[in-house]
Chains A and B, each alone.
Chain A
Amino acid sequence: MAKMAYRKERVDRGIKARTDDIFALSSFREILYLVLPRLLVILFLLPLPLFLGTYWQKVMLITLVIALLALSWDLLASVGLVSLGQALFFGVGGYLAGFLSTRWGWYPLFTIPAATLAGAVFCTLLLYPALRLRGIYFGLITFALPLLFMRVIEATKILGGTEGLSSLPPLPGTTIELYILLVVALGCVFGFRRMFDTDYGLVLKALRDNDRSVEAGGINVQWYKAQAVFLAALPATFAGAFLTHHYQFVGMPAFALDYSILPLTSVVLGGAGSFAGAVLGACILVPLSEVLRAFGTLRVVIYSVVLVIFVVGLPEGIFHYLQRKYHQFERLVPMEEVSNGARAGFKGY
C-alpha cells in the first residue's frame, strides 16, 4: 500500500502582480495588509523615548546611531561595495563636527549638517580611486582607512591627538535627540527603500549584479558608484557628528573597529538589502550587548559566534525571513509516493 506523503506548499498571498514592485491592490484590507507592518513599527517606536528611563534612553540612542551606520552599510552593499570600515564615515563626521565647533565656535545646529555634508563629500573623494576595486579589495581599503586616520592623528597630534577634542557644545537633551535620530533613521529606511523602487535605484542595484553590463548600457559606473557612496555616507557622517555633540567629545575611538563591526553584524543579523533589516538588526544587537555587558569581552565572543551562525546558517537574515513568512503561508498537501531518486533530485534542486 502506498504510504500517504505530504509536502509543504508555499502559497503567496497574491498581492504581488507579475513582479516584485507592482502590487494589485483592490481593497482596503489589502492596503492595510501592506501598511500595517510599517505602521506598527512607527507607532511602537515614536512614543518609546517617553517611557524609557535615562539608562535605556542612552541605549536607544546608541542603537539608533548603529542603525544609521548599518543603513549606510546596506546602501553601499546594495551597489556591490562591501565596507569593512563604517568607522571611516563615523569618524570623519565626528571629527568634522568637533573641528567646526572648536575652531569657529559653531553651534550644533550648524556643525551637524555641515559635518554631515562635508564629511560625505570628503569620504566620497577619498574612496573615489577605490571604486573600481571589486569584492574584498574595496573592503580592505575601507578596513585600513579608519585605522590609518587613527594612527595619523595619534602620530601627528593634530585634532587633539590622543586627547581628542572635548568640551563641545551640548545638544538640547536626550529625549529631543532621540526624536531627531528616530526621524532621520526612519526617513532613511523609507527614503532608501523608495529610492530603490525608482529607475535610479534600479541602476544602482544593477551595479552590484554586473557592472560590465551597466557600463555597456551607457551608464558611467564610476560616477554612479560615487553617488551611492555619497548617499551612503550621509547617515553615517550624520551619526558621527551627532554622537560627537551628544558626548561633547570626539577622539580616536571614533575610528575604532567597534563602529565598523557593530553595523556590519546588525545587517547580517537583520538581513541585507532591505534597510529595514539593518535597523532591526541594530535594535536586537545593541540592547542585547547592554544586557551582556556583565560578561565583559565574552560578549564580543558571543557576537562573533552569532555572526558566524547567521552568515553560514541564515544568510537571508531575520527581516527577510519574517517578510517571507508574512507574504506567504504554508500548507501541507498530500502527494503521491515518490521514488528516493526523485526525492534526492528534488532536494538537490
Chain B
Amino acid sequence: MEQEPVLKVTDLSKSFGGVKAVDGVSFTLQAGETFGIIGPNGSGKSTLINLITGFVKPDRGRVFFRGREITGIPPYQAVTFGIARSFQMARPFYNLAVFKNLVIPLYSPRAKRLKGGKYGDRDEVAIHLLEEVGFERDSLVPYKLAGTLPHGYLKRLELARCLALEPDLIILDELFSGMSMSEVAGILPLLEKISAEGKTLIMVEHRLKELFRVVKRVIVLNFGRKIAEGTPEEVMGSPEVKEAYLGGEVAEGAGS
C-alpha cells in the first residue's frame, strides 16, 4: 500500500534582495521518519524551515502536509494542522515563569482539542511536560522566570513547547546548539521516544555526530540548493558535500 507522505516539498524557492536563500528544494517525508537537514552556515536551512512553517512566504514552489497544500499559510495554522517547530534562537516569554511559558501553546486550538483542560489543569500539564524534557518538578527551575534560564535549558523549553502542541511533525532548528554533551545525551532518548510514538521529526543541525545517532535520512543544502540526499553515510561520502563543508566554513556555531 502506498502511504501518503507526511510532508512533500516541491521546488521551494525564496530570495532576499537578489540573494537566493532557498533555490528549488524538493523532498518527501514519510510518516514516522526522522530526517535531518544539514549544510554549512548560510546555506538556507533556517529559511527552508521558515518557508515550510509559514513564517516566510515562498516566491515559488509548494508545500503539502498529509496531502493537503499548506504553501504560505500563516504559522499558527501550520500548528493547527499538526506542525510544530522550535527556533534556533530561543526566545521564550522572559517575564513569565518557565511553566507558564507552556500554558500559551497549551491554549492553542489544537492543544485544547487534543488535551482539553481548564485553568489549573494547564499548569499541571505544563509541569509534566517540563519533567519530560528533563526539568525536575521539585526543583525551583520550573517556577523561575524564563529570562533567568541558561541557554541549554531554553532549548529544552523550546522542545517542550513543541510537544505541548501534540504535533504530528516536529521541526527542530538546531536543538543541540548551546547544549552540553551531557544535556544532548540526556535528550537523545526522548527524541527516540518521540519518534517511536510515530511522530515525524525534522532536525536541522550543525552537530553532525549527535544528529546521525537520531536521523536515518538527511538532505544537504549549500547556497540554497539541495546537493545531496540519502543516509548519513551515503551523504557524507559524496564529494560535493565534502567540498561544501571543507570549502566553506567549519560546521560549528550559529548557522544561517
Contact = CB atoms under 8 A, between A and B. Distances in A.
A213 B96 contact: no
A214 B92 CA distance: 9
B74 to A, nearest CB: 7
Interface string A196-218: 00111011011001101111111
Contacts of A19: 97, 100, 143
Contacts of A213: 87, 91-93, 104, 161
Nearest to B79: A218
A219 interface: yes
Interface stretch (B39-47, B107-115, B198-206, B221-229): B107-115
Interface string B120-148: 00100000000000000000100100000
B76 A218 contact: yes
A199 B93 contact: no
Nearest to A210: B91
A220 B100 contact: no
Contact of A199 (B53, B91, B119, B161): B119
A18 interface: yes
A217 B143 CA distance: 20
B74 A206 contact: no
Interface in B71-98: 74-77, 79-80, 84-85, 87, 91-97
A221 interface: yes
Given A200-B107, A205-B96, A217 B91 contact: no
Which secondary structure characterizes the binding site on chain A? Answer: helix
A216 B111 CA distance: 13
Contacts, number: 85
Interface in A10-33: 18-20
Interface in A164-201: 198-200
Contacts of A202: 96, 100, 103-104, 107
Contacts of A212: 55, 87, 91
Q: Which 3 residue pairs of A and B lie closest in terms of their CB atoms, listed nearest first? A: A218-B108, A218-B79, A217-B105
Interface of A: 18-20, 198-200, 202-203, 205-206, 209-210, 212-221
Given A209-B94, A217-B164, 7 more contacts: A19-B97, A202-B104, A213-B104, A213-B161, A217-B104, A217-B105, A217-B161
15 contacts: A18-B140, A199-B107, A202-B96, A212-B55, A212-B87, A213-B91, A213-B161, A214-B104, A216-B161, A218-B80, A218-B84, A218-B105, A218-B111, A220-B74, A220-B76
Interface of B: 53, 55, 74-77, 79-80, 84-85, 87, 91-97, 100, 103-111, 119, 122, 140, 143, 161, 164-165
